[in-house]
Chains A and B, each alone.
Chain A
Amino acid sequence: MPVQEKPLYYLTIHEAQKLIQSHALSPVELTRAILKRIEATDGRLHAYLNLMAESALSEARAAEAEILQGNYRGPLHGIPVAVKDQLDVKGAPALIREGKLQVSEDSTAVERLREAGAVLLGKLTMSSLPIEPPQPCNPWNTDHITGGSSTGAGAAVAAGLCMGALGEDTAGSIRNPASLCGIVGLKATYGRVSRHGLAPLSWSLDHCGPMAWTVEDTAHMLQAVAGYDPKDPTSVDAPVSDYAAALKEDVKGMVIGVPRHFIEECRFRTNPEIVTLVDSAIKELESLGARVEEVTLPTLKLATIANAVIYYNEHFAAHRSEAKSVIQNGATARRARIYLGLLTSAADYIQAQRIRSRVKGECAEVFRKVDLLALPCQLGPAPSFKELDPLDTLFKHLGPEYHAPFNLAGLPAISIPCGFSRSNLPVALQLVGKPFDESTILRAAYTYQQHAGWYEQRPPL
């Protein structure tokens, strides 16, 4: 759809920034349009936990004044975005931190969004909260879930309730809602985006990253938040590329590895439609000039359980002081996580870390021969609320699946829409890259996106 025919809330960041830079669009007008969209639809979608309309309008006015004075900061200047509750926002409540009423400092990622001139609309809901707010609905079919744990971010980006969001991924929590909601979600390399001010689920597995409608928008969001932060002991001082410059429609000569044996190992849990659509996407990348090779990562089948063991054990350590109240008052999945963490011995945790070393080594070996891995990003289309059991996610983590291995290995991984199921729910391709090589992932994802054109379809909401 041509830009001029789109409602403002469905502009991409890339489209809006051009209009804002040329003074053809006011950040205030854009922010008002999105706030109106939230007012009209969030009663059904339940994406926001805390809408900060007043401060957002004030930030939009400040951005507009700055831009009119000739001080344009870059692609996020005047762009309305939102963040998962897990990221601290100064002055806003952090429900994940046991309902802490006000946080006194921005997380580094939020601080960087502000430095880039973004307008902060508010905090988005997520699963694993101490309270149980209404679950966000999938904008493609509101009888279905968004996937978690960045539940609100998936719904908000897909339905035009913000132009981009920051999520967090411990075992798929960015890529899962991205794949189920038909948006792009990038879990950056561990250490690439600061975790300072991110409420911990599992210190060594938590990854912060962007969620947006297109690959360009994801690149703009990543650019704003990537980079070394001395406040985060796990932050890595690695050079940050120009991600927008990496977006060329070109995969010629790129070598894409497909772990076919692992897809087979997951097949008993995977809806066949997913594998068919992902295979078509891989063939499309091949037709665009990439070379596709089968690769073997023998220990990947144990990676999800190793990830789960580390997750539940670190989670228990991080939340030990709250365990009593979680067991008494917490939601089903939160209580279960406490029991699982407690049941994990030191020897189990160490074994999981040893498996982690093995998986990292196998990935490093494969990445000597290939530039990317390509595989599915979900076991099935978004389930309906009726089909759902609160323990489903925990069971998912106890057998082979497609997300957790790359949290365990700390590798960058993107979810990119690659079609729709027969029930008209989104399906995604996952591309995984070498450590700190988000550029190659973005380039391949961009090339695929431009040829496949799935981004042209918005949810019927």
Chain B
Amino acid sequence: MEKRTQETLKALLAQADLEPREGDMERFGRLLDTYVAALKELHSAELIDEEIAPTFDPRKTE
């Protein structure tokens, strides 16, 4: 696994009061690296300012 991904995940796990199971970092290394690469690809999409996530509507209760 990429060192940076491993360090990030370990920090996030610690912040959430969690510990990885022994061997999981190695077991899931390729998957997590592929995921991080896919996240980068997601951010490569060119979106305009009006293309936003769902918005809050104060008239709706849910």
Instruction: Spell out A's residues near B (CB within 8 Å).
Output: 233-234, 299, 302, 305-306, 308-309, 320, 323-324, 327-328, 332, 335-336, 339-340, 342-344, 347-348, 350-358, 361, 391, 394-395, 398-399
Contacts and interface: CB of A to CB of B under 8 A. Distances in A.
A332 B18 contact: no
A308 B32 CA distance: 13
Given A327-B18, A336-B31, A395-B34, A357 B9 contact: no
Contacts of A332: 27
Among B24, B41, B53, which residue has the most Cβ atoms of chain A within 10 A? Answer: B53
B21 to A, nearest CB: 5
Interface residues of B, number: 31
B39 A324 contact: no
A11 B54 CA distance: 45
B62 interface: yes
Contact of A305 (B5, B28, B41, B53): B41
A339 B42 contact: no
A398 to B, nearest CB: 5
7 contacts: A339-B9, A343-B9, A352-B42, A354-B53, A357-B52, A357-B54, A395-B31
Contact of A348 (B24, B28, B42): B42
A424 B15 CA distance: 50
A435 B3 CA distance: 44
Chain B contact residues, majority secondary structure: helix
Contacts of B8: 343
A355 B28 contact: no
B51 A339 contact: no
A169 to B, nearest CB: 20
Given A353-B54, A354-B51, A354-B53, A327 B45 contact: no
A342 B42 contact: no
Contact of B39 (A234, A335, A344): A344
A302 B51 contact: no
B61 to A, nearest CB: 8
B51 A358 contact: yes
Contacts of A344: 39
A30 B22 CA distance: 51
B31 A351 contact: no
B37 to A, nearest CB: 8
A347 B9 CA distance: 16
B19 A398 contact: no
Contact of B28 (A309, A350, A391): A391
B12 A309 contact: no
B44 to A, nearest CB: 9
A342 B31 contact: no
Nearest to B21: A327
Given A327-B20, A354-B51, A342 B9 contact: yes
Contacts of A353: 53-54
Contacts of A305: 38-39, 41-42
A343 B53 CA distance: 20
Contact of B19 (A308, A327, A361): A327
A398 B13 contact: no
List 4 tightest A-B contacts by C-beta distance, closest first: A353-B53, A233-B62, A305-B38, A398-B38
Nearest to B15: A342
A320 B54 CA distance: 23
Interface string B29-62: 0011011101101110101000111100000001
Contacts of A309: 39, 42
Nearest to A357: B51
Given A354-B52, A357-B51, A323 B16 contact: yes
Contacts of B53: 350, 353-354, 356-357
Given A309-B42, A327-B19, A351-B45, 12 more contacts: A302-B41, A336-B28, A340-B32, A342-B13, A343-B35, A348-B39, A353-B54, A354-B47, A354-B52, A358-B45, A361-B51, A395-B34
Contacts of B27: 332
Most chain A CB inside 10 Å of its own CB: which residue of B13, B17, B18, B34 = B18
B58 to A, nearest CB: 16
Contacts of B17: 324
